[in-house]
Structure 1
Amino acid sequence: MAANAGTPQVGGRRRRHRRRGVMSEINVTPMVDVMLVLLIIFMVSAPLLTVGVPLDLPQSQATTLDQDKEPLTVSVNDKGQVFLQDSEIDIKELIPKLKAVAEARGGTEARVYVRGDKRVDYGTMMKVMGQLNSAGFHRVALVSEFEQGS
């Protein structure tokens, strides 16, 4: 009798094929691709999110302040309109609304950024600054653009 090692026997049992075990590796390449696309989207869209009231800010040599959260911003445009963050308000309503926002954020110790157009009336700016001071906001910062060359 001849023995055939490579093929199953005719009248006997057939060889059973082993099933492969469960693959325990995770393919992270698609996840990395998605994360890189999201990173690029956020890098492109982040500068577009800091849009506010369009002003022509004065220039100065002052350095920027470090900030960890969105600041309270009061803006005055060249027409004398006053804005709290991005919404226009009457100058008489500035202090009650600013106090309400500041209390929700942690009290009057919050820094308030004041932005004023180059062509804004000096009296209007002083009225806004005086109201902020009389309301107890003593951490007031004036916003300007960095002066290029000189």
Structure 2
Amino acid sequence: MSMDVGGAKGGLKADINVTPLVDVMLVLLIIVMLIAPMLQKGVDIALPEAEHTGDKPDTADQTVVAVGPDSRLYVNSLPVTEADVITKLQGILENSADKTVYLKGDKAAPYRAIMQMMDALRGAGIETVGLITEKKGGNVGGNQ
């Protein structure tokens, strides 16, 4: 793409150089590609350990309720209030073939908070609740 600025033959021509623009855009694309997976880490929950535990469920396809160390609640890594947990879960499970809800309780969370959540899940008609624990030795697993 060029533009004539001079009227005489051999006059000044101004070209728009898109190479620096493409370079900057590629660098920005690489930065976004590197940072995006880090943003999807989820909620950091220190799971309690158990020796006899099954394989870790694939939490990308599962419905997970997490109870943080400060008793904050999360549904699929999104913070929710205690009043909204059941409504949000019913909306998720309505469109899901798997009606299992996995409960991740931080080992520093009060036992009362985890049991209240289990009771609320059962009271809402969710019959299958799995507890996610960490296998002693570092492997994460789920035990129902």
Q: TM-score, normalised by structure 1?
A: 0.61
TM-superposed deviation, 1:51: 2.3
For 2:123 and 2:99, the matched residues in 1 are separated by 15
TM-superposed deviation, 1:48: 6.3
Unaligned segments of structure 2, at least 5 residues? 1-36, 139-144
Higher Cα radius of gyration: 1
Q: TM-score, normalised by structure 2?
A: 0.63
Higher normalized strand content (fraction of residues): 2
TM-superposed deviation, 1:67: 5.1
Q: RMSD between aligned alpha carbons?
A: 2.5
For 1:48 and 1:99, the matched residues in 2 are separated by 29
Percent identity over paired residues: 27
Partner residue, 2:87:
96
| Mapping of residues 27-66 of structure 1, within 5 Å | 51-61=41-51, 62-64=53-55
Partner residue, 2:119:
130
SS in 1 for 2:54: coil
Partner residue, 1:116:
105
For 1:78 and 1:66, the matched residues in 2 are separated by 22
2:105 and 2:114 in contact (8 A); partners too: yes
Please list the CA deviations of residues 114-134 of structure 1 after superposition, one character each: whole Å capped at 9, or x if unmatched.
001101011111111000001
**Residue identity in the other structure for 2:84:** E
Partner residue, 1:75:
66
TM-superposed deviation, 1:52: 1.8
Matched, 1:87 2:78: yes
